[in-house]
Structure 1
């Protein structure tokens, strides 16, 4: 079975986010009022596995080992089975 995976990664609360601060300042200079700007990395991919449980385990391992730094990042995983 094929599964579509989406991993959304953002910095934990309290971590400095210079990219978000720059975006917020630039928007203010353009006349937009924006509060609490945050940036999120979204990684999508497909996985071939026998079960949803196997995909969940594999994706969790990917996140812990490569996709993010658990010390400074929070992440959310969405998994859906692909038709066909």
Structure 2
């Protein structure tokens, strides 16, 4: 099978995350892209649903609250379950 070089533009952060994920799976970026393209050809389209999620108002509010909490340095964080459990029992 002959191969050809291909260039694509990818967001740097997404590329890093994908590279780390693929590495965990024992793949490199080229292999992962080849798997994706082969699945597109085999299925005659994109091999997964492409859609805009329709979250409820409550879920969207919870997501915003989680983002706010994760960025708030005044809210304590815990590195293990024992610390969290101790804080909850206090």
TM range (shorter): under 0.3
Which structure features the higher share of helix residues?
2
Q: Which has the higher contact order (CA 8 A, sep 6+)?
A: 1
Larger Rg: 2
